[in-house]
Amino acid sequence: MPPTRTPATATTQTVAQVNQTVLLEVLRRHGTLSRQRLAAESGLSTATVHRLVEVLRAEGLVEVESVRAPSSGGRPPQLIRYNARAQTVLAVAVRPRRIVGVVTDLGGAVLHEAEHHWEFAGTDHPREVAAGELTGPLLALVDGLRAWAGHNAGAPRALVVGVPGAVRDRTGLVEFAPALQWPGLRLGGLLQERYGVPVAVESNVNLVALAVHGAQAPSGVRDLAAVVVGIEVGAGIVLDGRLHRGRLGAAGALGHLMSGPAALDRPLGRTGDTQARVGDHAVDRRITEAGLTVSGTPAERVAELFRLGREGHPAASRLIGELTDDLALVVANLSTVLAPELIALGGRLFWESGGELPAAIEARLQGRVPVMPRLVVVHSTTTELVGAATAAARLADGATFITH
């Protein structure tokens, strides 16, 4: 007979930790509250709230204000507020040509920032890269952030790192990051062993989605997608307020959306159908193929494309129309399958279009999708750090990395 499995149960310590996290989340959402209101908003008993508030006060995570709330009869109640300055966390975003990182307090206020440029990363450098080259610059940057925090604001309590690739849920295994040439890198375990604090590794697009959700949640948005069109094309997805990663963290791989039956005859490669049409390298190639004489950086070439389109240049207008259709199909597929309330759009195509692309996509899809989401443009290169800092604050509080 197979051995019987004993059901897992939560220990008293685990329950207390979860309840502390609940209280901190309530205080983040509502600001200053009395213990009675804190009990009502959290669903915990008044006795539990009184006990846990004292624990959180001892840890410096909450403070009691000197000014009391208005009395409804009897002694005015004390007001409890979340102390975002109690601890620091580290948020890092790894990109194809540079790593950026910040030290923040638990409220996301940036206390210090740093960046490191590296030369070997990116698809322009196809040679094999040694493991030390992959992790060395990242570890050096985190070491520097950690040292600054320890000397100036208190040792960091958590670390979140975003990478441009699929990350296996919970384990921090970077399955593959083509933009970095990182195949199967166990980054989470390496960072956890080195720094000894709670660590999470997440895809950059998921961090963008977390940041967008944090900004939109007060207005009631529960379902959204953050689409980032860069060297790779991907989406971070939040459903019912929770980050949706899918099996092995593979949800949102929009670059591999198939555009027609011919795609069924091609094996899975590093570049999918959609990425081959709207990814950064593809757009640069299509500008050249259209016979457009534009120069400068890739971003400047895209900006020039839209300038020529506004002036009525036939080839530029034609290419802009084709790109609009390609991106409209991405938005339509997401809208039809997920029906999100909002889709945030990031990447140089959207930034350099002068606001034209979202309006053009919306016009193209009117009457063609069951429910049209609201489209907004976000600067994903800064937003992903906001998402990483938010996730790191939850880790420091003892939460299970924001909504698995």
Element (H, E) at 22: helix 12-30
CA angle 325, 237, 397 (to 5 degrees): 150
Interacting residues of 315 by C-beta distance below 8 A, sequence separation 6+:
290, 291, 292, 308
Tell me if 384 sits within 8 A of 93, measured CB to CB: yes
Largest CA distance in the chain: 80
> Is the pLDDT reported for residue 146 higher than 90?
yes
Nearest to 206 by CA among 156, 256, 172, 158: 172
The 10s digit of each residue's pLDDT in 335-372 is 999 999 999 999 999 999 988 999 999 999 999 999 99
CA distance 236 to 225: 6
CA distance 378 to 209: 10
In this structure, the number of other CB atoms found within 10 A of the CB of residue 404 comes to: 10
**Amino acid making up residue 317:** S
The pLDDT of 205-226, averaged and rounded, is: 94
Edge-first strand order for the sheet with 374-377 is 242-244, 233-239, 224-229, 342-346, 374-377
Confidence (pLDDT) at 347: 94
Alpha helices in 153-203 (DSSP H): 187-195
> What are the structure tokens assigned to 228, written together?
């980032």
Confidence (pLDDT) at 28: 80
Interacting residues of 204 by C-beta distance below 8 A, sequence separation 6+:
93, 94, 95, 162, 163, 164, 228, 380, 384
Interacting residues of 150 by C-beta distance below 8 A, sequence separation 6+:
156
Confidence (pLDDT) at 166: 83
The pLDDT of 9-17, averaged and rounded, is: 70
The 10s digit of each residue's pLDDT in 285-316 is 999 999 998 889 999 999 999 999 999 999 99
State the DSSP string of 28-70: HHH-SEEHHHHHHHH---HHHHHHHHHHHHHTTSEEE-SSPPP
- Band of residue 176 on the pLDDT scale cut at 50, 70, 90: low
Element (H, E) at 115: strand 110-117
- Name which residue leads in pLDDT, 240 or 125: 240
Identify the DSSP state of 129.
-
- Band of residue 123 on the pLDDT scale cut at 50, 70, 90: very low
> Is the pLDDT reported for residue 133 higher than 70?
no
Confidence (pLDDT) at 6: 47
Interacting residues of 134 by C-beta distance below 8 A, sequence separation 6+:
180, 182, 185
Q: Is the dihedral of CA 385, 375, 251, 399 positive or negative?
A: positive
CA angle 65, 66, 69 (to 5 degrees): 75
CA distance 60 to 329: 50
Element (H, E) at 205: helix 204-216
Mean pLDDT score of the chain = 86
Confidence (pLDDT) at 126: 44
Confidence (pLDDT) at 121: 45
